[in-house]
Structure 1
Amino acid sequence: MHHSRLCSIQIDCNTSDVDEAATFWAGALGFPVDLDHAGSRGNYRQLATPAAEPMVQIQRVDHDSRAHLDIETDDIAAEVARLEKLGATVHKRLERWTVMQAPTGQRFCVVRVQRPFFSQHANRWD
């Protein structure tokens, strides 16, 4: 048995200025940039979203701009296997997360637990 849930929306920005991108998305979505959050470092800026809502993170990337979802789980291997049974494929395994691709082509990440109250709000998979 393991658990998982939607964790975050990652807004990938092909830009030289991640702060400018974060300022735009903060204004567009109505959530301020949270520079004190551990997720605001280097190429990343975290927006201050309510605890019960998915996180929104702006990240500077070298590929085309796009958005992708992160699914958080207490067992990455089990969640990857579950998603493969649904038709997803592994695109890349990294040290702390796995990049997957949906049957329709969208890429998304499976990550370790990131947010508080995970077990109260996560789906249970037997």
Structure 2
Amino acid sequence: MSEDQDARGRGVMSVLVHIGLTVSDMARSVRFYTEAFGFTYDRELRMTAAQIDPLMQLQPPSDIHAVYLMLGGQTLELMVFDPPSAPAAASRMFNQTGLAHLSIAVDDIADTCARAEALGGTVSKRVDRAAILRDPDGQLVELVTRVFNDRLEKGRAERAGAAG
């Protein structure tokens, strides 16, 4: 299978590049995601309001500082704007329209929850194989065990094999 084909051999028209998350404190957020979940630093970007305004049209016009973190081949873009826009958004719920949560597979739910709380996160609910927490800015994060995620991935691979 080539890079520009999906599992069924069809041409791939697009790929997910990253998920962007606006945060209020870059250092705190980088520390939270790297130390709680094992993301690694990839790169950062700084652009002025004049550079980004034609595309983003922010009010007020703002400079951006973005840090890109990697986990398992996925990229999380953390963004801080100066000056910031409106006050922080209210804590969103799973059933609200829009990006609801990030989901991360971890080896140990209890240990990860303890690290997240020590780094400013808040655990909302924890059960055997999963937990729901909020990062220091209130973003919902779902934790599942790696064992559970591995079962999901195996099922996905089997379905892709059956369809091909």
TM-score for the superposition, normalised by structure 1: 0.41
Higher helix share: 2
Could you say which structure has the larger radius of gyration? 2
Q: Which has the higher contact order (CA 8 A, sep 6+)?
A: 1
TM-score for the superposition, normalised by structure 2: 0.33
